[in-house]
Amino acid sequence: MPLKPIETKKVYMRVVEQIRQMIQAGELVPGDQLPTTAELAEMLQVSRPSVREALAALEILGLVDSKAGSGCFVARSPIGRPVQPAQPIVLAGWASAEEILEARLAYEPVCARLAAQRRLPEDLNDMRCAPELGMVDIERVAEGKPARFSDCHGRAGLPPEDFESSLHAVIARAAHNTVLAAFGQAVSRAVNSPTWQRMMRQIYLSPRNNSFFLQQYEQLYDAIERRDAAAAESLMRQHLTALSATLNE
């Protein structure tokens, strides 16, 4: 495939535009299978997370179809529309996955520490109602253990369909800091983007990842409940670092 190295500015958008142009020019035709994420990253000289973001964006645009276990294919009836690199909000809010994770690593461990120090009984109740802990209960019951958090759940699932209902967002609110809350609104807008959500769904499709992250969520809740600020901060940092490492696999 005659692909070109990608400039570093707005990397995933440039990947999207290059593949879109190849489809429009007939260099890639419906049914063609794209190279793997690792192969595309090497060919384009970009990171794997950037390739994953680009493929998720192309799927949202209707240009490619992703088939679990088989790979990514040019859509049979591409419906793609022009992508403007100056307007990344069309695809993924205003931030890349790497930028989102950098911001969350700077912000969420502090929120977890403050939440352990300041949480109120109603904060703990909101945490128990978070979709992540609903999934913890499902996993516990499957292993023959009693449920811990099952009294108030709506829809359990990973990733949560709305970040504002997620355990991460509830913990941030439990910090009871208005400045951090304003920062959290920006994070929420970024992670609610379709591209980020698709990437997270791919990660949680792995049973190994799913079980590992659920264990971290339960440990994080326990640390906040017992007011162990140091453990809560450390566990949140470990969780986000593991998520970042998974995106880079």
pLDDT value of residue 156: 55
Neighbours of 10 (CB within 10 A): 16
Round to whole Å and give the CA distance between 60 and 80.
Answer: 9
pLDDT value of residue 83: 42
Tell which residue, 43, 84, 78, 46, has the closest CA to residue 64. Answer: 78
Dihedral angle, C-alpha 47, 39, 28, 95, nearest 10 °: -10
**Amino acid at site 92:** A
**Residue 231, C-beta contacts closer than 8 angstroms, at least 6 positions apart:** 116, 223
39-53, 155-169, 225-239, range with the lowest pLDDT:
155-169
pLDDT value of residue 186: 81
Residue 199 in this model has a pLDDT that exceeds 90: no
pLDDT value of residue 91: 40
- The residue extents of the domains of the chain are 11-92, 97-247
Residue 215 in this model has a pLDDT that exceeds 80: yes
Alpha-carbon separation of residue 144 from 22, 72, 147, 151, 166 (angstroms): 52, 38, 9, 18, 25
37-41, 195-199, 215-219, range with the lowest pLDDT:
195-199
**Residue 96, C-beta contacts closer than 8 angstroms, at least 6 positions apart:** 10, 11, 12, 49, 50, 53
Give strand pairing partners of 92: 94
Alpha-carbon separation of residue 20 from 33, 191, 197 (angstroms): 14, 24, 21
Residue 219 in this model has a pLDDT that exceeds 70: yes
Residue 220 in this model has a pLDDT that exceeds 50: yes
Architecture of domain 11-92: Orthogonal Bundle (1.10)
Task: Kindly report, residue by residue over 18-64, the tens digit of the pLDDT.
Answer: 888 888 888 888 889 999 888 998 998 988 888 887 887 788 778 88
Architecture of domain 97-247: Up-down Bundle (1.20)
pLDDT value of residue 79: 52
Phi, psi angle pair for 22, to nearest 5°: -65, -35
Tracing tokens 């208005």 back to the chain, one arrives at 178
Buried b (16+ CB within 10 A) or exposed e, 84-99: eeeebebbbbebbbbe
Please report which confidence band the pLDDT of residue 68 belongs to, taking 50, 70 and 90 as the band edges.
confident
The percent of residues in the chain predicted with pLDDT above 70, rounded, is 80
The percent of residues in the chain predicted with pLDDT above 90, rounded, is 27
Q: What is the mean pLDDT of the chain?
A: 81
